[in-house]
Structure 1
Amino acid sequence: MQKISPFLWFDNQVEEAIIFYVSIFKNAKVKKVARYGDAGPGPKGTVMSAWFELAGVEFTALNGGPKFKFNEAVSFVVRCEDQNELDELWERLSEGGEKGQRGWLKDKFGISWQIVPVVLAPMLTDLDAQKSQRVMQALLEMDKIDIAGLQRAYEGERAA
């Protein structure tokens, strides 16, 4: 068991959300589901909370009602190995949500995600300041991240 894990407070969409996330991520599974009983406070049989795993990270989700909403102050970074993985996650997670800039998106439940390639951090932290600045400039012009575009910027080539 992870010592620290994300806890997500939904209004009443936990069941829909975990089905959605588990369908998108490889190595994902629903671990446990607790349902309301006669004591409530939710309708008997509906999901109260659930524990699920995405790419080795355990999450807890609660149907807590409309008191709290998700916002961009907290997001999940997904590091992708290649453009195909990045494209798939970008499209699937943004279904019913909204696509942002520089790899950010908001899913249909309001959770913010950053879909980034694993090569981004090493490029942005390269000791050659010109390389890292070119990569940052290219990134600032992207919505969904284009790994080949970052690579061209890193190498000092003009955009295709």
Structure 2
Amino acid sequence: MEKVTPFLMFQGQAEEAMNFYTTLVEDSKIKEITRYGSEEVGKEGSVMQAIFSLKGQEFMCIDSHVHHEFTFTPSFSIFLTCESEKEIDQLYSSLGEGGDKLMPLDDYSFSRKFAWIVDQFGISWQLNLP
């Protein structure tokens, strides 16, 4: 086995999500994007496959050309350990906009500040300030 990479399947929002995430998390970037062409099964210009990294952790993603009745579930989440109140507050505000707050930002006894949210793309995030 070479490595393990989380894989996210979007339905038309992969590039928008990657751009959003890489602007929020420092030391992050889109590394590679392969797009569907005019003669391929996916919508022309949409993401056939992409690789991006958040603080060094690589993710793969696609825009599925097949419509699925399922989407992301909160049981899989991206866990971010923050370094300051300013950082966790900013992430909570940005990632929570247009999403759902499963556990609002608060002191839950196991962490000075913690939140569990689902963003506008359906991805679940745990934000922690130990």
TM-score between the two structures when normalised by the length of structure 1: 0.68
Which sections of structure 1, spanning at least 5 residues, go unmatched?
A: 120-160
Pick from 96, 99, 110: which aligns with 2:98? Answer: 96
Please give the per-residue CA displacement for 1:22-45, whole angstroms capped at 9, x wherever unaligned: 111111111000011243111222
Q: Distance in 1 between matches of 2:74 and 2:44?
A: 33
User: 2:67: which partner in 1?
Assistant: 66
Which of structure 1's runs of 4+ aligned residues deviate more than 4 A?
Answer: none
User: 2:127: which partner in 1?
Assistant: 115
User: 1:122: which partner in 2?
Assistant: none
Which sections of structure 2, spanning at least 5 residues, go unmatched?
A: 104-113
Which is greater in Rg? Answer: 1
User: 2:77: which partner in 1?
Assistant: 75
Greater relative CO, 1 or 2 (CA 8 Å, sep 6+):
2
RMSD over equivalenced CA pairs, Å = 1.5
Letter in 2 for 1:75: S
Query: How big is the shift at 1:72?
Result: 1.1
